[in-house]
Each structure stands twice: as structure tokens, then as C-alpha cells.
Amino acid sequence: MPQFSVALATEILWWRGRHGIENMKKNNLITPEGTRDLLFDECLARRKIETDLMSLFKSKGFSEVVTPLLEFYDVFDNYFTQEQMYKLPDAKGRLMVLRPDSTLPIIRLAETRLRDEPRPLRLCYNQVIYRANPKEAGVDDEIAQCGIELIGGSSAGILKLAVEVFKTIGGNYRFELGNCRIFSRLAKEYKIDPEKAELIRRLVETKNYSGLSALDIPAIFVELPKLFGGFEVFEKAEKLFKTETMKNRLMALKRVYTELCEYVKGDKITVDLGLTNELGYYTGIIFNGYSEGFGEPVLTGGKYKVGNTLAAGFAVNISELSLKTNLQNRGKRYISSLVCEGGQ
């Protein structure tokens, strides 16, 4: 066929599609934005990390649970905004969502079917979550996560387990500790009204030094977001924190920090006193794990309270980890020479 007629045919097709004449346009050859197919090495990388982490969790006494991908909207109400979730109605018109998080469904499970089980409950999971991200942001909406929830009882031990995750994954990492009750207690001690406290919290959370300096607030709030790094942070903070409660809270965090530093040699463990309760359910120690080459934390967790349930847990972003490891082999076909016995 001469080339010009191919071009013409394409143009006609385009024009017809554009003007709705071709109303049979199907999306049968693409995946929805924010999702992807995983091939060969990508699958192997993901399954390997999943298997390694799940066997780590199970070796520490955690039992795996699977919750439905679809949950009622109400499970996540108060913690996620409508815009963050994929939604659809059930047959009775009740609103369902694709779970944007695994923690809240597991708490639902703990408060219902596992209500009478002895505490602490040690649960772990390996499942995907969905977040409705702004379009064309270059981030996945479908995220595979492995994580644990320790429900009831002491949360001691989960920090070491979180650090173990990085030992298992390998690579250069930093593990960061904070306590969201440092900010909330300070706000209370300086009698900051809730509306202003939320404004200050957001500025502390985003380390907006200029924004904080411009406000008429006690100097401690300007210093708080700068208090991150290694051991020296505690020395600085000890001079700034005035009350008994604050000093005690700092000492408690320092004990946890020192203990963890003994467990992991080197400068891997850091502290950020400016971490605040962003997600809305954390109640004490919170922590983030950063890995070199990743634009956001690959592990997040902390102590939290949902309803009447006190628990602690963390989640690891498996999608990010598996996609960025082994980039050079991306999509490489793994078993290329396998043919059916008896085939032609």
C-alpha cells in the first residue's frame, strides 16, 4: 500500500474518534493509569522481597492475614479523604472503596472476629493497597505492601524488627525515630489553641523554617523542626525542653534511640523531633525508614490508637523496592529457552 494512503487512513480514524463518530473506542490494550503489568525479573524481584520479609515476620511469631480488597468506606472515614480513595457502590448502594491502607481493616478484624483472642495479637500481611493519586504524577496507584501489626501489649521489639527489614533488603539506609506526642504536648503546655496548633503542626511537618519564624509563637516551635539528626539532637533538645513531662518524654526517646544504636552499629539510626501526627492515628513513637535512591520513605510505622484499640505496626512499600532493585535487568525474560516437551 502506498504510504500516503496509510497516513490518510490514520487521519480519518483520528478525526472520527475525535468527533465521536468512532464511539467504539476500547481501552482493551492498556492498563489504567497508576497500574502496571510486572514481567519476568520484576516479578522475581517482588516475590523475593515478599518472601524474605514474610518469613522474617513469621519467624518472629507473626501470623499472616488477608483482608478483602473491597471494604466499606466507613472503615477509612476520618483517616483518608474521599479524593484519596477509589470508590464504588455495592448492590444496596452502600459505598465501598478499594482499601487505601491495610492497618484499618486489620484493626476491624481485631475488634470483631479476633475480639476474644488473647492479646497481644501478632498479625502480618502481604497485599496491595490503592490510592487515587493526582493524574500523571508518575506514582503508582496500586502499591504492594508487607507489614505487621502488634495489637495490644507492649510495642517493644517492633523497632528492632523494622530495622531487620533493612538488613534483609540490604543497601544504604537510615532509620529515623520520632514521637508525635512531643509536638502535641508542647502545643498543650504553651496553651496554643487547636486551630493555630494545626497551622504550626503543618509548618513543623514540612520544615517551613521561614513560615514559623514569621509567626508570633514561642521560640521552641521554630527550633523543633531543626531538631533532627544523630545523638547531638538530644543534647540540644535537653536545653530547650523546660517541663518535667517534656524532659521525661525526651529521655524515653533517648533510651529507645540508644538501645537501637547498640543493636545497629554505625550512624544508621537518626532522630527527628519534628515528626508529627500526620495520619491522625499515631499516639507515640513513630518511625520512617529511608533507603538511598528512593524519593520517599520505604518503611513507615509507629504506635497508634484506632477506636479503643492500642497497637503498633509498620508497612514496607514492596512495589517501590522491587521496581528499583535490579533496574538493569528490567523486563528481561527469565526463562527464554523453555519449550514444551513433545512440542514441534
Partner 1 sequence: MSDNAKNAIRIALTKGRLEKDAVKLFGKMEWDISAFLDKGRKLIFDIPEQNIEVVIAKPTDVLTYVEHGVCDVGLVGKDTILEYGGKYFEVLDLGFGRCRFGLAVKKGADFYSGCGVKTVASKYTNVTREFFESKDMDVDIVKIEGSVELAPLLGLADGIVDLIETGSTLRENGLEEIEKLADISARLIINTVSMKMKKAEIDKIISGIERNLT
Look at the block and give the residue holding cell 529511608.
290
Residue length, the chain?
344
Residue 219 touches partner 1, criterion: CB under 8 A: no
The answer to whether 154 contacts partner 1 (rule: CB under 8 A) is no
Work out whether 327 is an interface residue with partner 1 (CB under 8 A): yes
In this complex, which beta carbon is closest to partner 1, that of residue 310 or of residue 323?
323
Q: Single out the segment in contact with partner 1 by CB under 8 A; choices: 25-33, 119-127, 188-196, 207-215.
A: 207-215
CA distance 181 to 318: 29
Instruction: Name the one range near partner 1 by CB under 8 A: 41-49, 162-170, 185-193, 295-303.
Output: 295-303
C-alpha cell at position 34? 497508576
Is 138 a binder of partner 1 (CB under 8 A)? yes
147 φ/ψ angles, rounded to the nearest 5 degrees: -165, 180
Tell me if 209 contacts partner 1 by CB under 8 A: yes
Contact 135, 144 (CB under 8 A): no
If one asks whether residue 33 binds partner 1 (CB under 8 A), the answer comes out as no
324 binds partner 1 (CB under 8 A): yes
Which of 50, 56, 64 is CA-nearest to residue 121? 64
Task: Tell me which of 206, 243, 248, 258 binds partner 1, using CB under 8 A.
Answer: 206
Longest dimension (CA), the chain: 86
Least distance between partner 1 and beta carbon 200 (Å) = 14
Which residue number, 104 or 203, has a Cβ lying nearer to partner 1?
203
Amino acid at 3: Q
Spatial distance between the Cα atoms of 49 and 197, rounded to a whole number of angstroms: 40
The DSSP secondary structure of 174-209, one letter per residue, reads EEEEEEHHHHHHHHHHTT--HHHHHHHHHHHHTT-H
| Nearer to partner 1 (CB atom), residue 78 or residue 172 | 172
Residues in contact with partner 1, counted by CB under 8 A, come to a total of: 26
Decide if residue 231 touches partner 1 (CB under 8 A). no
Listed residue (170, 197, 155, 200) closest to 298, CA to CA: 170
Output 146 or 212, the one with its CB closest to partner 1: 212
Per rule CB under 8 A, is residue 70 in the interface with partner 1? no
Give the 3-state secondary structure of residue 311: strand
Which CB, 157 or 297, lies closer to partner 1?
297
Which is closer to partner 1, CB of 70 or CB of 137?
A: 137
Q: Of residues 118, 170, 295, 342, which one binds partner 1 by CB under 8 A?
A: 295
Give yes or no for residue 9 binding partner 1 (CB under 8 A). Answer: no
Distance CA 68, CA 127 (A): 10
| Residues 320 and 32 sit within 8 Å (Cβ to Cβ) | no
Residues at the interface with partner 1 (CB under 8 A)? 137-138, 172, 174, 176, 206-211, 214, 228-229, 270, 272, 288, 290, 292-297, 324, 327
